[in-house]
Amino acid sequence: MFQGSSALTLDAKGRISIPTRHRDALNSQTEGRLTLTRHPDGCLLVYPRNVWEQKREQIASFPMSARALQRLLLGNAQDVEMDGAGRILVAPELRQAAGLTRDTMLLGMGGHFELWDAAEWARREAEDLAKGMPEVLDQFSF
């Protein structure tokens, strides 16, 4: 279960270092194999390969009315592997699509991660908080 946020730096070659606290789990679960793809919200999704393989099957079975979402998720999916230093390469196409600059945020979302441009994440988070809590949380207490 991945949780928490990490401020990461995209290096000149387009690599990010997976935080140490997640590396061991990813290495034991998937031998460091991950899949990156686009998310409709503008970030990138980072899945352990075994989780992605299940999601990929679900996405492939979407009805024709969801073809645009299939193209976004499956058409942009790229398999990567962590190197010996725990880094992954984010392809130029994916960096551009998500507007990633040097400063990024990696958010643990349970079974996967979201990778955001840090400035865009700060803007988005402020916007989301300003909207208030959705009704679905009426029955939830902190």
In a domain, 136, yes or no: no
In a domain, 141, yes or no: no
In a domain, 112, yes or no: yes
Number of domains in the chain: 1
> Which structural domain range is residue 126 located in?
2-131
Give the pLDDT of residue 134: 78
Q: What DSSP string runs through the chain?
A: -EEEEEEEE--TTSEEEPPHHHHHHHHHHHTTEEEEEE-TTSSEEEEEHHHHHHHHHHHHT--GGGHHHHHHHHHT-EEEE--TTSEEE--HHHHHHHT--SEEEEEEEESSEEEEEHHHHHHHHHHHHHT---GGGGG---
Domain holding 49: CATH number?
3.40.1550.20
In a domain, 140, yes or no: no
In a domain, 54, yes or no: yes
In a domain, 139, yes or no: no
Question: How does pLDDT run along the chain (142 residues), one tens digit per residue?
Answer: 899 999 999 999 999 999 999 999 999 999 999 999 999 999 999 999 999 999 999 999 999 999 999 999 999 999 999 999 999 999 999 999 999 999 999 999 999 999 999 999 999 999 988 988 777 777 777 7
